[in-house]
Amino acid sequence: MFRLQSSKVLAVEMTGDAVKAKNGSMVAYDGEMAFKKLSGGGEGIRGMVTRRLTGEQMTLMEVKGRGTCWFADRASEINLVGIQGDKLYVESSNLLATDGGLRTGTEFTGLRGASQGNGLFTTTVEGHGQAAIMSDGPAVVLRVSPQYPLTVDPGAYVAHQGNLRQSFQSGVTFRTLLGRAAARPSRCGSRGRTGVRAAERAEHDRGRRVRWPSGRSTRRWSRRR
Amino acid sequence: MAFREINAKMVEATVTPGQRLFSQRGAMLAYRGEVSFTPNTAGGQGGVMSMIGRRVADEDTPLMTVEGSGTVLFGHGGHHIQVIQLSGDTLYVEADRLLAFEGTLQQGTMFLGSQGGVMGMVRGQVSGQGLFTTTLKGHGAVAVMAHGGVIEIPITPQRPVHVDPQAYVAHHGEVRNKLSTALGWRDMVGRGSGEAFQLELSGSGAVYVQASEEKL
């Protein structure tokens, strides 16, 4: 059972079940707990190979036991997301914990991720249960409906859920390329658009930009400008 | 209560004549009234011997004495501040996490090796506490800094609490702490869960844990 102890600390009550959490994110626990690193993070050999190839490596651990376990990571704000049979798309570095029964996988995202150096792939979480995702600064939930497509800054995007179609919208012009644009080119040149088919929701962080996770894989090409 | 939390990162302290405060040097943000700040070369209370003790123990964070009558705002480095009220028990905290405390508290230095011998020293090294830690004893309030918010976890004799040494901030009460290791073959080959060392706190009291694994 996931519960927010404060906006930055996640408390999980466990009665013999398991949760998956980001490696090293445990700050305290009482009762009896066992920590085990999940090999590869995905399911089976195939998941492992995919993760290695895509660079979307999630260093996850499995926490199992009885008692309360508290998780936190670099004082990031934590948001609880309920998943009922649908799919949550989140950058692996922003995923703090999921119920043990949820499946995690890797999916191709396209240009949105690449424009922000997040790589071409993202992590998906599916099944029934809860997940805790992190954002730098409080996140807001923005609903997306077929009539009102939503455009978000890829740098402020955290995660999305539901049946959303994404297209990449670029504001790069000749002036931007010359460095004469009003805004910083990297910023205005990377307007992402979260287009929509069915009514669902997208989550995005309106405050500060999502920060660089420090342990970023160097294989992601677009970080080097 | 001498300290009032203005927001998560600032506290307001009330000083009245005869009731002095100690605070980390440079942590004053603003003040009202007739308040004087005197650098405290001794680094806290006690005589020359306790000053030498702190120097040797590397627990001599520059402190200043705050006296007079008025209100003072404290804050430092944008860190979150937690006010802890002590009523007769002892608070164990790292000296550089101390923002301010009331003069009614007895300040001391504790050698970690005295609790658990060699393992106590290892624990101090692993948790980044060093071999010594600062103790505050008596009745009064303490303002402690932490990276990210702080949560308080009660410790009861039936329920010992395990804490990540890097997220540990302070503890108070009759608490025994020891370093528990869960080193397995996985850690040896670099595939550990990142939770190989934990501080096990047992007894009765409370531990304060920050929402981050970063030092101040």
- ipTM reported for the complex surpasses 0.85: no
State yes or no: pLDDT of B185 exceeds 50: yes
Q: What is the mean pLDDT for each group of 10 consecutive residues in chain A (225 residues)? A: 92 93 90 79 62 65 92 92 90 89 80 60 88 90 84 82 75 55 34 33 40 37 35
Domains delineated in chain B = 3-210 (3.60.160.10)
pLDDT at B183: 61
pLDDT-above-90 percentage for chain B: 41
Q: Do B194 and A6 touch (CB under 8 A)?
A: no
Q: Which residues of B touch A59 (CB under 8 A)?
A: 194
pLDDT at A55: 60
Residue of chain B minimizing CA distance to A31: B159
Beta pairing, strands A140-144 & B197-210: unpaired
Give B181 or B209, the one with higher predicted confidence: B209
Residue of chain A minimizing CA distance to B208: A28
- Ramachandran bin of A44, using left for φ above 0, alpha for ψ from -120 to 50, beta for the remaining angles: left
pLDDT at B66: 92
CB atoms within 10 A of CB B205: 20
Residue B189 near residue A56, CB atoms below 8 Å: no
CA distance A79 to A133: 5
pLDDT at A223: 36
CA distance A18 to A181: 51
CA distance B128 to B148: 18
Q: Which residues of B touch A73 (CB under 8 A)?
A: 212-213
The partner residue sitting opposite B164, judged by closest CB among A8, A27, A74, is A27
CATH code of the domain containing A194:
3.60.160.10
The partner residue sitting opposite B149, judged by closest CB among A8, A28, A62, is A8
Give me the phi and psi of B120, to 5 degrees please. Answer: -65, -40
Q: Do B195 and A24 touch (CB under 8 A)?
A: yes
The helix (H) or strand (E) run that includes residue A175 is helix A174-178
CA distance A28 to B165: 9
Residue-number span of the structural domain to which A208 is assigned: 2-223
Q: What is the DSSP letter of B184?
A: -
pLDDT at A203: 47
Structurally, chain A folds into a number of domains equal to: 1
CB-based contact (8 Å) between B167 and chain A? yes
Task: Taking residues B107-111, report their average pLDDT.
Answer: 80
Task: Taking residues B115-135, report their average pLDDT.
Answer: 67
Residue B24 near residue B61, CB atoms below 8 Å: yes
Q: Do B167 and A29 touch (CB under 8 A)?
A: no
**pLDDT tens figures, B14-50:** 999 988 899 988 899 999 999 999 887 665 666 666 6
**pLDDT tens figures, B46-93:** 666 666 666 666 666 778 899 999 999 999 988 999 999 999 999 999
The sheet with strand A164-169 has its strands ordered as: A150-152, A191-196, A164-169
pLDDT at A186: 33
